[in-house]
Amino acid sequence: MLKFIPGILLLQVITIALVLIAPADLENWGWLRLAIPVLIAGFLTAFWFGSIAAHQRKNEISRLNEDHAKERETIRVNAERAKTKLVKQAQRKTLQEVRRSSRRANIKIGLAFAGAAGLGGVLILTQFMSLGLLTLTTAGGALGGYILRIRQEKAN
């Protein structure tokens, strides 16, 4: 609003100056010699104020566009962060589930190999030597293959 004060003061000074230099007898068409310059100064001041207001409006729109662009970018960045966080959580949860199921499978397979080895031991003790040795070597070979596969999976 302070941008309009110089124009207002200038218009008042022009009006006062025209009134002071106007002739004392403003009869018939003499008042036109006072009114026309005052109207011209008024129109020029109005156009000047219109230009100032248009410039202010353009600056305000530009500032608002910049603010909205910053806000949009902030929202976009926050959404990307949230998305990345969710993906990491999902990966972590999937990895935990894989580990859990792998542990359960390892326990079950370990128990199966222990049972096979126990059966082989029982067969050896009960005089089924060849069948017992065959059972023990089969269980040992399967266990060795399983351990080799686990090591290869961990290496990759």
Question: C-alpha dihedral over 58, 64, 67, 68, to 10 degrees?
Answer: -120
Q: How many whole angstroms separate alpha carbon 142 and alpha carbon 148? A: 10
pLDDT of residue 1: 65
Q: How many whole angstroms separate alpha carbon 7 and alpha carbon 1? A: 11
Low-confidence ranges of the chain (pLDDT < 70): 1, 26, 128
pLDDT of 46-57, one tens digit each? 898 899 899 999
Q: How many whole angstroms separate alpha carbon 26 and alpha carbon 29? A: 7
Long-range pairs, 141-150, Cβ under 8 A, ≥24: 142/113, 142/116, 143/113, 146/109, 146/113, 150/106
Would you mind telling me the total number of residues written for the chain in this entry? 156
pLDDT of 88-117, one tens digit each? 999 999 988 888 887 887 788 878 878 878
In order, the DSSP letters of 7-22 are HHHHHHHHHHHHHHHS
